[in-house]
Amino acid sequence: MEKKQPNMNLGAAVLFIIFSLLFFVLLIRFVSIQITGEVAGQNLAAKAHQKYMKKNTIDATRGTIYDRKGEVVAEDTISYTLVAILDKSMKPHYVSNPKMTARKLAKYIDLSKDEIYERLTVKDKFQVEFGKAGRDLSHQTKKKIEALKLPGITFRRELKRFYPNGVFASHLVGFVEKIEDKNGHAKSAGVLGIEKTLNSELTGKAGSVQFESDYWGYLLPDEKEKIIPAVNGDNVYLTIDKKIQTFLEDAMNKVEKEYNPAKIIAVVADPKTGEILAMGQRPTFHPKTREGLEKSWYNEVIENAFEPGSTMKIFTLAAAVEENVFGPNEWYESGSYRVTKNSPVIRDHNGSGWGPITYLEGIQRSSNVAVAKIVNEKLGFEKFREYLTKFGFEKPTGIELPNEVTGKIKYEWPIEKITTAYGQGTTVTPIQLIQAAIAVANDGKMLKPHVIDKIVDSQTGEVISETKPEITGTPISKETAKKVRDILGTVVTSPKGTGYNRYNIEGYEVAGKTGTANIPGPNGNYLNGNNDYLFSFLGMAPKDDPELIMYVAVQQPVVESYFDGAKPVSKIFNTVMKSSLQYLNIKPAKQKNAVATPVPDVTGASVEKATETLQNKGFDIVLTGKGKTIEAQLPSENSTMLEGEKIILKTEGDVTVPDMTGWSRRDVMKFAKIGGLQLNLTGSGYVTKQKPNPGVSLKKGEYLIANLETPDKQFNNMIQQQNNDEHGVEEVRD
């Protein structure tokens, strides 16, 4: 045993030396760490601070969007997402009884207990959610689930965008969605409409709370939180009026259901301020669910330019009146017209025209030939081109909505210059039409259309910016604007007008212009189906002092025949315009009670004296003959007639046939009797055709022939003729 002692001592000495070295290495390492505070180049104090210093984000509330009267259009609301903790290391805060949990949760979310159980038993998951069924839960539902005291069931609080009106100017308002940034963090961003245009103003700035915690994440004793408060987004007030927008949405819903059109576009504006009071389209979408968005991403009012059809004639007429070259009582030959020898023939929409008619009647009937002659022979191409610029057709309006486009003016060849005048070839946007029409409605002053009323600081209530009416031009004078409105009023009131019996609103006078434009096909040619048209109307009311202006276009409605295309347009225009005027307390025009008045005897009196006497009593005078003294009158003296009825006065000589279009059977019979003419009448209603033409003199005993039709039949026949057009440059209808 004694022989082994030296070996044991040696081993012990070696171990002692090794442990001593390790001790000194650890000691040196400890001292080094104490002195430098670093390990592997990393600061330990910073690492500890990073581990135990907690920083939570305080979400900023997105600004609220209101209508002009403070009704909420879009706002942030709190919602909750249901979360289930599955990791057993979180004991007791995990789902320990999946069957019981699934059974109880099935009463409060839209999933079966089996579907919930399947989610609660997924392997190797720390936590799970429940898809759409577990998102956007209300506070009430959250409280009910919490009352169940289910282990492992918790909630994540979120801010969600809420649109209380559902489908409501959806393309104008837009929507918000979560978008991941480059760091993988999700944040809300506006998509489409005002939500996109004013995203930075609405978004606000997130805040934070920072504090030191223990191992479990709780605030350490005597530690103070460092809070940077969130700055909520600004509130936006639109010019949209919730009531008028609702009128529009309801009217479009009914027309969409009844006629199933490819598109509907509609805008209502205040011509005195340029404010857009309502804007809508079909197809549309629900801003919360996005349902329908795949059918139409574009705001048709702002982002789509198309051939406007005969609504463009409003501005050709206005230019001619302003330049004093429009003679309403001047006659021209309707039917067809060539700009140059080699240019295509321009035809009126019925193919044959109406013979010699006045330019006023040409506008009422929406004669392409009338407009062509005005631009080519009276106004001049260069002057008309100046008015296209004055009315703002070559640049965007600048309305506060994203992606606004402008149309394209085709104005190189003579035929293009003519077709532009009546709405073919050249393209415009609906918002450009609205801006230009404001000049007519607003006594010559053209205003920039806008949809933002003001932006307000959500925390202080201070108005950050406010939109004021902005004049963008004065293309016509006040006097011209009034004359144009009066002429456009006859488009609706005259039996010859394309808007007759379609856009009359009881109690209010309407001025406006119809349009029926062809639709370009994929091969560059126009579509030629019975319903392949864009039917439209651009109107304002009340005529003498317009408070509202409205554009409605309905593309390819499903109707029995072509001439029914105006029906869906008028159902939207008339309904919305009348309801809106009444809502705005615009008083209807006073309806005069018809007064029965005895007819005085004016035989033997001079033409001037007789005319003055009868006109002072409110009668409509029809004078025929070539003399200066009244020889006969019908009705005769002591007859009783209503104000506005016709009295036929005859002087010496042969009778001169007047334009009898729109006359009643009774009036035609009076004229034939006083002239001693043989009368041949066919049909019932009001005169649509006559022979001989106006201006022809007839001797006693000669024949007067007149064809009469009811107003409905007149309209249907007129549109049916449009559908049978001959070939030529007559694609734009009325």
350-393 pLDDT, tens digit per residue, is 888 888 888 999 999 999 999 999 999 999 999 999 999 999 99
Q: 178-187, 432-441, 628-637: lowest mean pLDDT where?
A: 178-187
pLDDT at residue 563 in the model: 73
Tell me: pLDDT of 729 over 50: no
Cis (ω within 30 of 0) for the bond into 98?
no
For 239, the token pair is 């010019």
Residue scoring higher pLDDT (45 or 523): 523
pLDDT at residue 538 in the model: 98
Residue scoring higher pLDDT (596 or 509): 509
* pLDDT class of 591 with cuts at 50, 70, 90: low
pLDDT at residue 465 in the model: 95
Residue scoring higher pLDDT (440 or 710): 440
Tell me: pLDDT of 183 over 70: no
**What average pLDDT does the structure give for the chain?**
85
Q: 14-18, 197-201, 691-695: lowest mean pLDDT where?
A: 14-18
pLDDT at residue 22 in the model: 74
pLDDT at residue 5 in the model: 60
* Largest interatomic CA distance in the chain: 173
Would you name the residues annotated as active-site residues?
310
pLDDT at residue 540 in the model: 97
Quick check: 218 and 52 in contact, CB under 8 A?
no
pLDDT at residue 209 in the model: 60
Residue scoring higher pLDDT (171 or 342): 171
List, for residues 634-647, the tens digit of each pLDDT value: 888 777 877 778 88
For 376, the token pair is 């080519």
* pLDDT class of 220 with cuts at 50, 70, 90: very low
- DSSP notation for 638-706: T-EEETT-EEEEE-SSSEEP---TT-BHHHHHHHHHHHT-EEEEEESSEEEEEESPTT-EE-TT-EEEE
pLDDT at residue 39 in the model: 52
Query: 6-15, 42-51, 146-155, 508-517: which has the highest mean pLDDT?
Result: 508-517
* pLDDT class of 519 with cuts at 50, 70, 90: confident
pLDDT at residue 728 in the model: 39
> For the residues 657-663, what does the mean pLDDT come to?
81
> For the residues 345-352, what does the mean pLDDT come to?
86
Pair type for strands 533-541 and 511-518: antiparallel
| Contacts with 300 (C-beta within 8 Å, 6 or more apart), sequence order | 171, 263, 265, 281, 430
User: Residue 239's Cα: distance from chain center in Å?
Assistant: 13
List, for residues 671-692, the tens digit of each pLDDT value: 888 888 898 888 888 888 888 8
Q: Which amino acid is at 303?
A: E
* pLDDT class of 182 with cuts at 50, 70, 90: low
- DSSP notation for 505-556: BTTB--EEEEEEEE-B-TTSSBP-STT-EEEEEEEEESSSS-SEEEEEEEES
Handedness of CA 409, 410, 412, 415 (dihedral sign): negative
Name which of 130, 144, 134, 147 is nearest 79 in CA terms. Answer: 134
For 305, the token pair is 């330019």
Quick check: 54 and 149 in contact, CB under 8 A?
no
Name which of 294, 354, 357, 352 is nearest 330 in CA terms. Answer: 357
Does residue 166 come out as left (phi exceeding 0), alpha (psi in the -120 to 50 range) or beta?
A: left
Give dist(CA 61, CA 521) in Å, integer: 47
- Domains of the chain by start residue, with CATH: 56-238 (3.90.1310.10), 242-583 (3.40.710.10), 596-718 (3.30.10.20)
> For the residues 468-493, what does the mean pLDDT come to?
96
Tell me: pLDDT of 511 over 90: yes
Q: 467-471, 516-520, 611-615: lowest mean pLDDT where?
A: 611-615
Name which of 188, 75, 77, 174 is nearest 451 in CA terms. Answer: 174
Q: What distances in angstroms separate CA 240 from CA 72, 109, 244, 246, 372, one per listed residue?
A: 11, 37, 8, 10, 39
For 671, the token pair is 């004229």
Residue scoring higher pLDDT (449 or 650): 449
> Where are the strands (E) in 292-373, listed by range?
331-333, 336-337, 346-347, 356-358
Tell me: pLDDT of 185 over 80: no
- DSSP notation for 399-425: -SSTT--------SSHHHHHHHHTTSS
pLDDT at residue 727 in the model: 36
Residue 108: HSE in the Cβ half-sphere, 13 Å Cα cutoff: 23
Would you tell me the crossing angle of helices 313-322 and 381-390 to the nearest 10 degrees? 110
| 143: enclosing H helix or E strand | helix 139-146
Radius of gyration for the chain, computed over Cα atoms and rounded to the nearest angstrom: 39
* pLDDT class of 595 with cuts at 50, 70, 90: low
* pLDDT class of 52 with cuts at 50, 70, 90: very low
Q: 150-154, 468-472, 509-513, 661-665: lowest mean pLDDT where?
A: 661-665
Tell me: pLDDT of 300 over 70: yes
> For the residues 334-345, what does the mean pLDDT come to?
90
* pLDDT class of 240 with cuts at 50, 70, 90: very high
